[in-house]
Amino acid sequence: MKHARIAYAGAIHRVTKGDSRLLSEDPLVWLPPIEPGTIFALGLNYAAHAKELSFKAPDEPLVFLKGPQSLCGHLGQTRRPRGVTYMHYECELAVVIGKTARKIAKADAYDYVAGYTVANDYTIRDYLENYYRPNFRVKSRDFATPLGPWLVDAADVPDPMNLRLRTLVNGKVTQEGNTRDMIFDIPALIEYLSGFMTLAPGDIILTGTPEGLADVKVGDEVITEIEGIGSLQNTIIGEPEEQKHVG
């Protein structure tokens, strides 16, 4: 089953795909499909992507954290800061933890997954100090990580390690890949993270992006798609003019 969260008529509603009560209404706002706990993000988790950036593939998961304010929903808008030279999308499979997990073995890892959704974790290359030390200006910017539209139950995704991913910018395919090409697969990531900290329901693991990055500009429409999970649409907008205070 596919679940979503939307804001409509001053309230937040939980809906399922096929529910016509609210999804046909206008206006409504798509929210991230879950209320997030801790957000983990993987860097360089596809070998071809690491090579694309002239980095050596990591020997252990390269993980960093993101703030919850960095998320936005389907059909949301993400700002491109003034003056930056390179801002790119990152189509990623997002894994949502369903129950408390501590020191979980790979063989049991999928028992702790609630479901999956699509993430687009934008990166502003100008601000990137080092892929082994991503700074907050890169990965925790407000609304710079669209998530959704749907949370798909784990039971409805029989093989999450064999899903096609792709990104389209203004209708043109610019990125293609498959989750089978991850360096560290989902069970390995859950084992690694739960080995030194407790994972909680609602925690999200963004599993990295394949090769095929491209700069996006103000006005671009970006769609990140994952087979069987969904199609997430987002628009790039510019920063507003700074307000000058008098007095």
CATH number where 135 lies: 3.90.850.10
Q: Cα separation of 19 and 49, whole Å?
A: 38
Task: Give first-to-last CA distance, the chain, whole Å.
Answer: 56
Q: Is residue 243 part of a domain?
A: no
Q: Is residue 68 part of a domain?
A: yes
Quick one: average pLDDT of 61-89? 95
233, 222 in Cβ contact below 8 A? yes
- Which of 208, 237, 29, 20 shows the shortest CA–CA distance to 141? 237
Domain, as residue range, for 88: 34-238
Q: Is residue 198 part of a domain?
A: yes
114, 151 in Cβ contact below 8 A? yes
Query: What is the Cα Rg of the chain in Å?
Result: 18
Q: Is residue 246 part of a domain?
A: no
Please provide the DSSP assignment of 46-57 as one string.
BHHHHHHTT-PP
Quick one: average pLDDT of 56-81? 92
Q: Is residue 2 part of a domain?
A: no
Q: Is residue 60 part of a domain?
A: yes
Q: Is residue 8 part of a domain?
A: no
pLDDT bin (cut points 50, 70, 90) of residue 243 is low
Q: Is residue 214 part of a domain?
A: yes
pLDDT in tens, 6-23: 998 788 989 898 776 656
pTM for the whole structure: 0.92
Ramachandran class of 129: left when φ > 0, alpha when ψ lies in -120 to 50, beta otherwise: alpha
pLDDT bin (cut points 50, 70, 90) of residue 174 is very high
- Total structural domains in the chain? 1
* Mean pLDDT of the chain, nearest integer: 90
